[in-house]
Amino acid sequence: MQVFRLSSEETAVRLPFFSASVAAGFPSPADDYIESGLDLNEYLVKHPSSTFLARASGDSMIRAGILDGALLVVDKSIEPKNGNIVIAAINGELTCKILDVKHQMLRAANPSYPSIPLNDGDDLLIEGVVIHAINPMTNLT
């Protein structure tokens, strides 16, 4: 799993933003104008000083909408709760899984992968809670 640093405010890029939503079902008439720009940092990052990016690898979280190669936005300031998707370091290995406090395990979102039991002797550090996944559309097939 790769970890990336967020850009500084000096390098922020505002992208054009359509003011109308785009139909994902039946087509609707398009608006002929673009609203003010949208800075993705403002949209995706609530706590800049405690947010980092990581690249997902593999398909163990596919049913949670995290595809191989997804860019994950992770917030370290959010208190991890049961059911959150987290980045965890378990015995020195980073993984992205669903936190299952009740059953003391980290669960995959793909039935082909086993859950990771959390034992008393394990070295577990929750690095942060995944708040967004940006998936490459080329991996949908």
Residue 39 resides in a domain: no
Considering 97, 102, 112, 115, which one is annotated as catalytic?
97
**Helical (H) or strand (E) element with 43:** helix 40-44
Q: What is the CATH number of the domain that holds 78?
A: 2.10.109.10
Q: How far apart are CA 89 and CA 101, in angstroms?
A: 16
CA neighbor of 110 nearest in space, from 50, 67, 51, 54 = 67
Per-residue pLDDT of 69-109, as tens digits, reads: 999 999 999 999 999 999 999 998 999 999 999 999 999 99
- pLDDT at residue 25 in the model: 61
53 domain residue, yes or no: yes
Q: First CA to last CA across the chain, in angstroms?
A: 22
* Host domain of residue 108: 47-139
**Is residue 121 in a domain?**
yes
Tell me whether residue 92 is in a domain: yes
Does residue 36 carry a pLDDT above 80?
no
pLDDT in tens, 111-131: 999 999 999 899 999 999 999
Say what the alpha-carbon torsion angle 123, 95, 125, 47 is, to the nearest 10 degrees: 170
Distance CA 20, CA 132 (A): 22
Q: Does residue 24 form part of some domain? A: no
| 12 belongs to a structural domain | no
Q: For this structure, is 97 an active site residue?
A: yes
Tell me, yes or no, if 76 is annotated catalytic. no
38 domain-assigned: no
> Would residue 35 count as lying in a domain?
no
Number of domains forming the structure of the chain? 1
Is it the case that residue 9 has pLDDT exceeding 60? no
Considering 7, 36, 49, 60, which one is annotated as catalytic?
Answer: 60
Per residue in 55-64, pLDDT (tens digit) is 999 999 999 9
